[in-house]
Amino acid sequence: MLDNTFDTIIVGGGIAGLTATAFLAREGQKVLLIEKNREPGGLVNSFSRNGFHFDAGVRALEDAGIILPMLKDLNIDLEVVKSPVSLGIENEILHIENIESLSKYSDLLKKFYPESSGEIDQVIKTIRKIMKYMDVLYGIENPLFKDLKRDTSFIFRKLLPWMPRFLFTVGKINRMQLPVEDYLKSVVKNPSLRDIIAQHFFKNTPTFFALSYFSLYLDYFYPKGGVGKLSESLKDKILELGGEVKTGTMVTEITPDSKSITDDKNITYKYKNLVWAADLKTLYRIAETENLPPEVKANFQKAKTKIENSKGGESVFTLFLQVDEPLESFGKIANGHFFYTPSRQGLGETHRQELYDILGNFSNISKQQVLTWLDKFIKLNTFEISIPGLKDKTLVPPGKTGMIISFLADYELFKKIQDEGWLQEFIAEVEHRVIEVISASVFPMLKDKVIDRFSFSPLSYHNRTASSQGAIVGWEFQKEMPVINKIQIADRSVYTPLPSVYQAGQWAYSPAGVPMSILTGKIAANRVVKSNKG
Ligand X SMILES: Cc1cc2nc3c(=O)[nH]c(=O)nc-3n(C[C@H](O)[C@H](O)[C@H](O)COP(=O)(O)OP(=O)(O)OC[C@H]3O[C@@H](n4cnc5c(N)ncnc54)[C@H](O)[C@@H]3O)c2cc1C
Give the footprint of ligand X on this chain (CB under 6 A): 11-17, 34-37, 42-44, 57-59, 62, 250-251, 277-279, 282, 316, 318, 406, 465-467, 472-473, 505-506, 512-515, 517
Nearer to ligand X, 423 or 466 (CB): 466
- Helix 117-137 to helix 101-112 angle (10° resolution) is 150
Taking the alpha carbons of 106, 107, 110, 111 in that order, is the dihedral positive or negative?
Answer: negative
- DSSP state, residue 76: -
Residue 209 burial by Cβ neighbours in a 10 Å radius (0-12, 13-18, 19+): buried
Count other C-beta atoms under 10 Å from residue 422's C-beta. 14
Q: How far is the CB of 227 from ligand X (least distance, A)?
A: 9
Q: How far is the CB of 411 from ligand X (least distance, A)?
A: 13
Q: Are strands 85-89 and 92-95 parallel, antiparallel or unpaired?
A: antiparallel
Nearer to ligand X, 256 or 505 (CB): 505
**Contact indicator for 487, 515 with CB cutoff of 8 Å:** no
Q: How far apart are CA 406 and CA 350, in angstroms?
A: 17
Nearer to ligand X, 192 or 249 (CB): 249
- DSSP state, residue 401: E
Q: How far is the CB of 59 from ligand X (least distance, A)?
A: 6
Q: How far apart are CA 319 and CA 219, in angstroms?
A: 25
Distance set, CA 73 to CA 48, 78, 166, 345 (Å):
30, 12, 22, 47
**What does the chain come to in residues?**
534
Q: How far is the CB of 94 from ligand X (least distance, A)?
A: 18
Q: How far apart are CA 13 and CA 121, in angstroms?
A: 44
Q: How far is the CB of 48 from ligand X (least distance, A)?
A: 17
Nearer to ligand X, 32 or 512 (CB): 512
Q: How far is the CB of 111 from ligand X (least distance, A)?
A: 26
Which 3-state string (H, E, C) describes 423-454? Answer: HHHHHHHHHHHHHHHHHCCCCCCCHHHEEEEE
Nearest 5°: phi and psi at 507?
-95, -10
Q: How far is the CB of 249 from ligand X (least distance, A)?
A: 6
**Contact indicator for 522, 70 with CB cutoff of 8 Å:** yes
Q: How far is the CB of 421 from ligand X (least distance, A)?
A: 27
Q: How far is the CB of 268 from ligand X (least distance, A)?
A: 14
Grouping H, G, I as helix, E, B as strand and the rest as coil, residue 466 is coil
Residue 394's nearest CA partner among 220, 224, 223, 222 is 224
Nearer to ligand X, 342 or 511 (CB): 511
Taking the alpha carbons of 258, 260, 264, 266 in that order, is the dihedral positive or negative?
Answer: negative
Distance set, CA 259 to CA 3, 9, 188 (Å):
15, 10, 55
**Contact indicator for 90, 342 with CB cutoff of 8 Å:** yes
CB neighbours of 440 closer than 8 A, spacing ≥ 6?
342
Nearer to ligand X, 396 or 512 (CB): 512
Q: How far is the CB of 147 from ligand X (least distance, A)?
A: 25
Nearer to ligand X, 199 or 465 (CB): 465
Q: How far is the CB of 406 from ligand X (least distance, A)?
A: 5
Count other C-beta atoms under 10 Å from residue 186's C-beta. 9
Nearer to ligand X, 245 or 512 (CB): 512
Which 3-state string (H, E, C) describes 293-334? Answer: CHHHHHHHHHHHHHHHHCCECCEEEEEEEEECCCHHHHHCCC
